[in-house]
Structure 1
């Protein structure tokens, strides 16, 4: 895949006008909409759930990239599929049987993402590179926006990219956390081909230019 995808996180949007912000992202050239779902258990924050995804779905035609930062994701994947998720990303740390979880998402005809947090070794995710659409490397501790990127996590990106060369050349390797106009170069150099950014997009005077800048 040649083009770097940009998936702005609506965690940084104005929740009072979320539909409008989603439309603005699409108009500004976003490839996907990154939806951070948090439950207050797996992560210390609470964001939004299925009703919000359903409400904002009509505002954009581009894929909804739904990142489930929740303690029991398999309980909810069917509902998120119904309300408009196109890609469903679960945390490896939250499921005991990873192959079964991957199969469950595929059974809903949705694309599978597998995420790992900063403290999880990359070796934990490498066996599944061949089976998923996307691997998400968290470059901050999940739960809050606006954090600084943990540069050491980018080594995991490179390891996943190398594995994908052997087993899944179409794999999307996404990075999420502390990505902005300055740090994105390191993420891209490590091999990431999908960038999640919230603050860097929503705080920009020119959203379209900010999105384009994240492509490198």
Structure 2
């Protein structure tokens, strides 16, 4: 009986190793090369991670991103969010709920999602990230759907890296490694960790797994 139990555990461990280190990488590379799931500007990226909820417990945070720029190995993301209704500001982080996350996996390609220039989110009456007359006037699609993502002007995309340390720090916000996404299925951010080097570095310790890429 003891021998049978040990054998069963070894078989389970074997299949776990095969699934984690052989099948999953194979399935990811197969998917990333398909038209529906390959990485490109306009792709939707779904990612989740465990994190603190501000107390002693942990919770899962769910994120949906839009790829707005690919410049060499630098892939710039923007978070898909929903503007608060006028005069009904809802406080929250950039994550979404588990329920909305599951729904968006099925419906995000059909959603009307408005690209809003970053500076415009701070214009108009009322708090930022809330629907107002200025935003509706400039982006009338917001009358139909309050989903949006922050965009940057076309002339600021695919430019050479800035040389000023402060500009470099601002540049590497939600910028991830293209190689890590394609080869390992994870979001590994580029960060400015050492101002003396004046060069970005990959922060593997901050990596998050990718659940899905959709086009």
Whether these two folds match at TM > 0.5 is no
- Shorter chain as denominator, the TM-score bin is under 0.3
Larger Cα Rg: Structure 1 or Structure 2? 2
Larger helix proportion of the pair: 1
Query: Relative contact order: is structure 1 or structure 2 higher (C-alpha 8 Å, sep ≥ 6)?
Result: 2
TM-score normalised by structure 1 residue count:
0.28
Larger strand proportion of the pair: 2
